[in-house]
């Protein structure tokens, strides 16, 4: 009698500790929310003509992150802002907040980093950047040290993959021929979505499409050692909704916004009919519904956060129900904690440890004939883009090789990869959005990326790239390029050989294996690829958050 009583007491005490731990976790979240509210009430917004720019500054990078809307016909700013507004920034942001949801930030193709003539050095801008950095710090705190390769290490924690009605995934894939007007995606989705093999580059190389991540990740998770068939044994729930393909198929078609949003809404309804969606809420409260659910989205976050008065993309990630789940994306929305950046898929999908080592040895053996290369296209419609300046600097010296993507020469994986493995530095200016798949192509070719905007990589991939970006990249502020304060070629020529060597070795040995998504049939033992790093950290997050 006494024994059982004291046992009960211990259990109660444990439960109290448990809730306390949860409370402690809630505090930083609350702070972040308060910061966001503060930011909203005070960040700098510049309105020039029909264009809105929202800008934020970093304490570490001394740079501004700006997001602009209105340069594209489809991205007209809300009409009340189109006139000569001279009201204070606070008032404008207040108005803006009412016109849009959360950080209702506009999206490509009108998106670009922009800084000229900006009101700057406001404390609020610092808050915004600090907030991004705090979030990344939290993401990094979920980094697992385990080498989870087999089921014995799952520790009883399973991941369940929902079997969704086919309209949410397979049926979207079968629209491949008609998804975008200028290319048939069907070949790209063959071979477990790796695409057709590229013999010329060797074993494990494929013509992979940049928007294939949803399919690739899905195949991988089906074979994960911690996957369980019995839903009541699961701690994590994977929702294989191909939301990226869903928005992609509407991008270039004249349909209403309701049409673009409809499948996402159906998916949310479907989830809410699943008792597992509310599993966490049953123990605690409604607030936690979906916290243990995982989505992988193969397009950038902005494509799912349609700005009011725009018609680009869907509002899927703005739905209330979508706030709790983890969204793994090739480009995160920097002010959403549950948006976590994971690498863009590259052309390399090794099957074995040996495929990786063979490639590493090949890279180390390369003579790197060019100092610099740039594969890209100019952005004539975006005058503030630094791309044209970089192309000019590049084409005026023999040290730099320019591959003109406007003329179609970048379509073949082998041309890009062969250029990059022969170069020491690869220029990676932002394109339509800050991140670039090309950063990953460059890293897996052993070419040191030159980054011009912190949101291109440093503020995106906390699980796959280290905080100390100097280990693997060179940062040149795009504003210095724009103001002609720096010649990129001259700057890079001054970097000592030893420094280049160290960066390259770090990239090839330490980073490369963790940046590629292995073949779904792969058996990696020595190395952890981008997929297994992600999975281990998702489990670690559960532990840390005591979910
Ligand atoms: C905006 O203000 C400028 C200067 O104050 C003025 O020259 C211009 O005509 C105004 N434009 C509109 C649309 O009111
Ligand atoms: C799983 O991993 C552990 C530790 O690395 C190892 O000892 C064990 O043999 C592995 N089991 C299987 C079935 O591969
Ligand atoms: C699923 O797991 C639960 C809890 O472990 C168990 O009670 C149930 O019998 C299992 N169902 C099946 C079909 O194996
Ligand atoms: C799009 O569809 C609407 C309604 O059917 C039509 O009025 C409009 O002209 C179309 N726009 C274009 C660019 O085709
Ligand atoms: C390294 O390069 C040399 C010549 O450049 C070549 O003979 C050798 O086979 C290469 N080794 C590997 C492992 O690729
Ligand atoms: C790149 O190709 C496009 C289209 O062929 C052409 O208009 C442009 O001038 C080229 N750019 C350079 C720098 O050669």
E-only strand ranges, 342-422: 370-376, 400-404
Whether 114 is covered by a domain: the verdict is: no
Whether 99 is covered by a domain: the verdict is: no
- Together in a domain, 309 and 438: no
- Together in a domain, 396 and 364: yes
Position 165 confidence tier, pLDDT thresholds 50, 70, 90: very high
Q: What is the count of structural domains for the chain?
A: 3
Whether 140 is covered by a domain: the verdict is: no
- Together in a domain, 280 and 339: yes
Looking at residue 508, what DSSP letter applies?
I
At residue 23, does pLDDT exceed 70?
no
Whether 521 is covered by a domain: the verdict is: no
- The phi, psi pair for 211, rounded to 5°, reads -105, 30
The number of beta carbons lying within 10 Å of the beta carbon of residue 340 is: 24
Residue whose CA lies nearest to ligand 1 atom number 3:
84
Whether 110 is covered by a domain: the verdict is: no
pLDDT, residue 353, reads 96
How many A from CA of 417 to the centre of ligand 4? 41
- Together in a domain, 313 and 368: no
At residue 50, does pLDDT exceed 50?
no
β-pair type (51-57, 64-69): antiparallel
How many A from CA of 296 to the centre of ligand 5? 39
Listed ranges 17-31, 56-70, 245-259, 381-395; the one with the highest mean pLDDT: 245-259
E-only strand ranges, 49-174: 51-57, 64-69, 158-161
- Together in a domain, 358 and 434: yes
Size (the chain), residues:
547
- Together in a domain, 196 and 338: yes
With the most atoms of ligand 2 within 8 angstroms of its CB, the residue from 150, 153, 528 to mutate is 150
**Cβ–ligand 1 contact at 84 (below 6 Å):** yes
Q: Which ligand is nearest to the CA of 400?
A: 6
- Together in a domain, 323 and 458: no
pLDDT, residue 156, reads 78
- Together in a domain, 184 and 235: yes
Give CA–CA dist 43/118, Å, rounded: 12
At residue 25, does pLDDT exceed 90?
no
pLDDT, residue 47, reads 32
* Percent residues over pLDDT 70 in the chain: 74
Taking the CA of residue 404 as reference, the ligand 6 atom at the shortest distance is 1
Residue whose CA lies nearest to ligand 1 atom number 10:
84
Full domain range(s) for residue 198:
156-345+528-545
Q: How do residues 75-87 score in pLDDT, each as one tens digit?
A: 222 222 233 233 3
pLDDT, residue 287, reads 73
Domain boundary residue, one of 41, 56, 71: 56
pLDDT, residue 335, reads 83
Q: How do residues 258-310 score in pLDDT, each as one tens digit?
A: 999 999 999 999 999 998 998 876 655 557 789 999 999 999 998 999 887 78
Give CA–CA dist 267/276, Å, rounded: 14
443: nearest Cα among 354, 360, 365: 360
**Cβ–ligand 6 contact at 408 (below 6 Å):** no
Contact 345, 208 (CB under 8 A): yes
- Together in a domain, 330 and 427: no
How many A from CA of 382 to the centre of ligand 6? 16
- Together in a domain, 202 and 314: yes
Position 334 confidence tier, pLDDT thresholds 50, 70, 90: confident
At residue 58, does pLDDT exceed 80?
no
pLDDT, residue 384, reads 76
Give CA–CA dist 429/133, Å, rounded: 21
At residue 421, does pLDDT exceed 90?
yes
Higher pLDDT pick, 214 / 40: 214
Higher pLDDT pick, 308 / 332: 332
pLDDT, residue 55, reads 39
Q: How do residues 32-46 score in pLDDT, each as one tens digit?
A: 444 444 443 333 333
- The pLDDT mean for the chain works out to 79
Whether 86 is covered by a domain: the verdict is: no
- Together in a domain, 43 and 181: no
At residue 6, does pLDDT exceed 60?
no
Position 71 confidence tier, pLDDT thresholds 50, 70, 90: very low
Residue with tokens 């979505």: 193
Provide mean pLDDT across the span 149-176: 88
Helix (H) or strand (E) holding 248: helix 243-251
pLDDT, residue 483, reads 84
Q: How do residues 483-508 score in pLDDT, each as one tens digit?
A: 898 999 999 999 999 999 999 999 99
Residue whose CA lies nearest to ligand 1 atom number 12:
84
Q: Which ligand is nearest to the CA of 402?
A: 6
Provide mean pLDDT across the span 4-23: 38
At residue 123, does pLDDT exceed 80?
no
* Percent residues over pLDDT 90 in the chain: 59
Whether 369 is covered by a domain: the verdict is: yes
Residue with tokens 């809630």: 26
136: nearest Cα among 485, 486, 468, 511: 468
418: nearest Cα among 395, 431, 435, 401: 401
How many A from CA of 378 to the centre of ligand 6? 8
- The phi, psi pair for 20, rounded to 5°, reads -60, -45
The number of beta carbons lying within 10 Å of the beta carbon of residue 218 is: 19
- CB neighbour burial string for 294-327, b if at least 16 within 10 angstroms, e if fewer: bbbbbbbbbbbbbbebbbbbbbbbbbebbbbbbb
Provide mean pLDDT across the span 326-350: 95
- The phi, psi pair for 545, rounded to 5°, reads -85, 0
Whether 142 is covered by a domain: the verdict is: no
Give CA–CA dist 435/440, Å, rounded: 10
Crossing angle for the helix pair 530-544 and 213-222, nearest 10 degrees?
Answer: 70
Give CA–CA dist 460/456, Å, rounded: 7
pLDDT, residue 64, reads 37
- Together in a domain, 166 and 283: yes
């Amino acid at each position: 009698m006494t024994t059982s009583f004291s046992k009960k007491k211990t259990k109660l005490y444990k439960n109290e500790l448990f809730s306390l731990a949860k409370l402690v976790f809630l505090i930083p979240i609350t702070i972040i929310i308060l910061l966001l509210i503060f930011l909203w009430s005070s960040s700098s917004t510049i309105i020039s003509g029909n264009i809105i720019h929202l800008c934020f500054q970093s304490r570490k990078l001394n740079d501004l992150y700006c997001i602009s809307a209105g340069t594209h016909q489809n991205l007209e700013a809300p009409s009340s802002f189109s006139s000569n507004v001279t009201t204070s920034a606070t008032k404008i942001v207040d108005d803006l907040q009412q016109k849009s949801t959360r950080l209702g930030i506009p999206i490509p193709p009108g998106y670009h980093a922009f800084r000229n003539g900006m009101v700057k050095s406001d404390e609020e801008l610092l808050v915004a950047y600090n907030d991004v950095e705090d979030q990344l710090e939290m993401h990094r705190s979920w980094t697992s040290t385990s080498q989870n390769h087999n089921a014995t290490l799952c520790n009883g924690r399973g991941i369940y993959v929902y079997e969704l009605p086919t309209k949410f995934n397979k049926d979207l894939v079968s629209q491949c021929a008609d998804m975008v007007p200028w290319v048939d995606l069907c070949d790209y989705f063959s071979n477990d979505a790796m695409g057709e093999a590229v013999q010329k580059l060797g074993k494990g190389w494929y013509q992979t499409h940049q928007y294939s991540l949803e399919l690739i990740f899905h195949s991988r998770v089906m074979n994960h050692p911690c996957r369980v068939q019995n839903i009541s044994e699961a701690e994590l729930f994977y929702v294989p909704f191909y939301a990226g393909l869903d928005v992609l198929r509407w991008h270039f078609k004249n349909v209403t916004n309701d049409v673009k949003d409809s499948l996402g809404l159906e998916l949310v309804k479907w989830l809410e009919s699943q008792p597992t969606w509310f599993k966490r809420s049953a123990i605690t409260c409604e607030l936690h519904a979906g916290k243990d659910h995982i989505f992988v989205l193969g397009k950038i976050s902005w494509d799912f956060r349609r700005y009011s008065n725009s018609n680009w993309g869907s509002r899927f990630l703005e739905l209330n129900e979508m706030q709790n789940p983890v969204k793994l994306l090739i480009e995160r929305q920097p002010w959403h904690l549950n948006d976590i950046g994971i690498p863009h898929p590259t052309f390399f999908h090794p099957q074995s440890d040996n495929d990786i080592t063979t490639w590493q040895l090949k890279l180390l053996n390369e003579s790197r004939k060019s100092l610099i290369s740039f594969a890209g296209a100019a952005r004539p419609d975006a005058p503030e883009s630094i791309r044209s300046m970089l192309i000019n600097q590049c084409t005026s010296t023999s040290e730099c090789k320019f591959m003109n993507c406007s003329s179609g020469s970048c379509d073949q994986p082998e041309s890009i990869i062969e250029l990059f493995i022969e170069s020491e530095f690869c220029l990676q200016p932002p394109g339509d959005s800050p991140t670039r798949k090309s950063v990953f192509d460059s890293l897996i070719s052993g070419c040191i990326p030159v980054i011009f905007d912190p949101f291109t990589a440093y503020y995106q991939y906390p699980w796959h790239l280290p905080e100390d970006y100097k280990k693997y990249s060179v940062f040149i502020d795009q504003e210095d390029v724009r103001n002609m304060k720096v010649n990129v070629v001259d700057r890079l020529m001054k970097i000592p050989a030893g420094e280049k060597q160290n960066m390259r070795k770090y990239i090839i040995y330490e980073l490369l294996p963790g940046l590629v998504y292995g073949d779904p049939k792969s058996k990696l033992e020595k190395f952890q690829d981008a997929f297994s790093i992600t999975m281990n950290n998702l489990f670690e997050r559960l532990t840390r958050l005591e979910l």
